[in-house]
């Protein structure tokens, strides 16, 4: 089973910031949080990942709470091309790295 919980869907107005939450209350100390997105009928695309510090790249920002039990992916200025399913997963660089995905959040960008 997936170790993360995400809302099934969200709406965001074009040009506004999209904030996608993820709950990972059972995360362990050496597990990273990864975010991916999947545009219809394509393979998922890596967005960002982090361990405990906030991270930012050209695509998004990742905010991880101090207790690491939840995180938020921020798309600062959403466009119609950001319409996709967003997956949050937790992984540890361990012997048995199964990489389990949940159902993700379907983000609708409204014009």
Partner 1 sequence: DGGITQSPKYLFRKEGQNVTLSCEQNLNHDAMYWYRQDPGQGLRLIYYSQIVNDFQKGDIAEGYSVSREKKESFPLTVTSAQKNPTAFYLCASTPDRGRAVAFGSGTRLTVV
Residue with Cβ nearer partner 1 (36 or 82):
36
- For β-strands 55-56 and 84-91, DSSP reports them as unpaired
14-53 mask for partner 1 (x: CB under 8 A)?
Answer: ------------------x-x-x----xxxxxx--x----
Look at residues 105, 97, 95 and name the one whose alpha carbon lies nearest to residue 36. 105
Distance CA 69, CA 76 (A): 23
Q: Report in angstroms how near the CB of residue 21 gets to partner 1 at its nearest.
A: 17
Residue with Cβ nearer partner 1 (49 or 52):
49
Contact 34, 91 (CB under 8 A): yes
Q: Which residues bind partner 1 (CB under 8 A)?
A: 2, 32, 34, 36, 41-46, 49, 85, 87, 91-104
């Amino acid at each position: 089973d997936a170790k993360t919980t995400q809302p099934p869907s969200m709406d965001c107005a074009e040009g506004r910031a999209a904030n996608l939450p993820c709950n990972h209350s059972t995360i362990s100390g050496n597990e990273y949080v990864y975010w991916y997105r999947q545009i219809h009928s394509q393979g998922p695309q890596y967005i960002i990942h982090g361990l405990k510090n906030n991270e930012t790249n050209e695509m998004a920002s990742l905010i991880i709470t101090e207790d690491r039990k939840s995180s938020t992916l921020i798309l600062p200025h959403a466009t119609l091309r950001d319409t996709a399913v967003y997956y949050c997963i937790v992984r540890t660089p361990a012997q048995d790295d199964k990489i389990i995905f949940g159902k993700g959040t379907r983000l609708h960008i409204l014009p």
